[in-house]
């Protein structure tokens, strides 16, 4: 079991990774994870002492209860206005241990135009294809999630899925770990960028039906065998990249 400090360091590291990959604008966005006691979360705070997501330090990751009240952290760092994205999702989903909320501009363009992110590639990035085939819901409002009701509405839009688009706003991804939730955000962003470029280049073709079928069959076998060393390797790579 990770200590509180290790969990906060991991949240800060994930902020730096997503920030360095331009998945969010300047200081907007936050990542959280659930403490082992299931009663507190560690979340990137906002306020006068903060720096951008890309430069998040462990001191900026504060402790908050599941009602969104600050329990611990420096004076200059406050609870994010949209803390309810996190607290209401943890209450709604017992499988979720980490929540990522960022504003990636290319994904937001798809919500603005009401275009789907289509399955355009397979072996290029199979787990990204998996994410798309699982279905990506959209929360169709463009408001800040600044109260419990709106948090519950977002949780309902996400349902049992792993990522949710937020119209004219950003994305929220969830996972069984910080790495899990962060990598899903990265994959969603890459899929959107690829779709966008494909539309610029010409008429994108979704991959053949028979390939999709085969992919799903093989995935079922792999899921049964469990574990993902590829995800761990990808995370190590992104962490190194963020140090550059
Ligand atoms: Zn937001």
- Report how far ligand 1's centroid is from the alpha carbon of 75 (Å): 23
The mean of the pLDDT values for the chain is 93
pLDDT at 28: 83
| pLDDT of residue 94 exceeding 90 | yes
Structure tokens belonging to residue 68: 């969104």
Of the candidate ranges 56-65, 96-105, 215-224, the one whose mean pLDDT is the lowest: 215-224
| pLDDT of residue 171 exceeding 60 | yes
The domains of the chain, with CATH numbers, are 4-225+234-242 (3.40.225.10)
Contacts of residue 202, Cβ cutoff 8 Å, sequence gap at least 6: none
| pLDDT of residue 49 exceeding 90 | no
Nearest to 134 by CA among 208, 187, 178, 196: 187
- Report how far ligand 1's centroid is from the alpha carbon of 169 (Å): 6
- Report how far ligand 1's centroid is from the alpha carbon of 12 (Å): 18
Q: What is the mean pLDDT of residues 54-80?
A: 95
pLDDT at 180: 95
| pLDDT of residue 226 exceeding 60 | no
Nearest to 113 by CA among 196, 182, 201: 196
pLDDT at 52: 82
Confidence of residue 231 (pLDDT cuts 50, 70, 90): confident
Contact criterion met (CB below 8 Å) for 105 and 193: no
- Active site residue ranges: 82
What region, left, alpha or beta, does residue 209 occupy, with left being phi > 0 and alpha being psi -120 to 50 degrees? alpha
pLDDT at 218: 86
For the chain, list the strands marked E by DSSP: 30-34, 40-44, 61-65, 70-72, 98-102, 138-139, 163-166, 170-175
- Report how far ligand 1's centroid is from the alpha carbon of 233 (Å): 29
Q: What is the mean pLDDT of residues 149-177?
A: 97
The percent of residues above 70 in pLDDT, for the chain, comes to: 98
């Amino acid at each position: 079991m990770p200590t509180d400090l290790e969990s906060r360091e991991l949240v800060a590291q994930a902020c730096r990774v997503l920030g360095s990959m331009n998945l969010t604008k300047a200081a907007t966005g936050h990542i959280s994870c659930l403490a082992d006691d299931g009663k507190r979360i560690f979340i990137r705070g906002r306020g006068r002492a903060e720096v951008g997501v890309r430069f998040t330090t462990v001191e900026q990751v504060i402790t908050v209860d599941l009602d969104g009240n600050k329990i611990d952290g420096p004076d200059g760092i406050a609870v994010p206005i949209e803390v309810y994205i996190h607290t209401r999702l943890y209450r709604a989903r017992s499988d979720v241990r980490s929540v990522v909320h960022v504003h990636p501009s290319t994904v937001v363009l798809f919500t603005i135009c009401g275009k789907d992110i289509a399955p355009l590639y397979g072996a290029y990035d199979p787990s990204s294809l998996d994410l798309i085939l699982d279905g990506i819901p959209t929360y169709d409002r463009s408001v800040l999630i600044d109260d419990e009701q709106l948090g519950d509405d977002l949780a309902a839009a996400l349902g049992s899925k792993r990522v949710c688009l937020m119209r004219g706003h950003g994305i929220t991804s969830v996972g069984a770990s910080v790495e899990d939730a962060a990598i899903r955000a990265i994959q969603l962003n890459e899929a959107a960028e690829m779709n966008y470029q494909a539309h610029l280049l010409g008429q994108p073709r979704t991959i053949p039906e028979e390939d999709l079928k085969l992919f799903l069959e093989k995935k079922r076998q792999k899921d049964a065998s469990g574990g993902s060393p590829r995800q761990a390797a990808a995370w190590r790579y992104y962490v190194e990249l963020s140090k550059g």
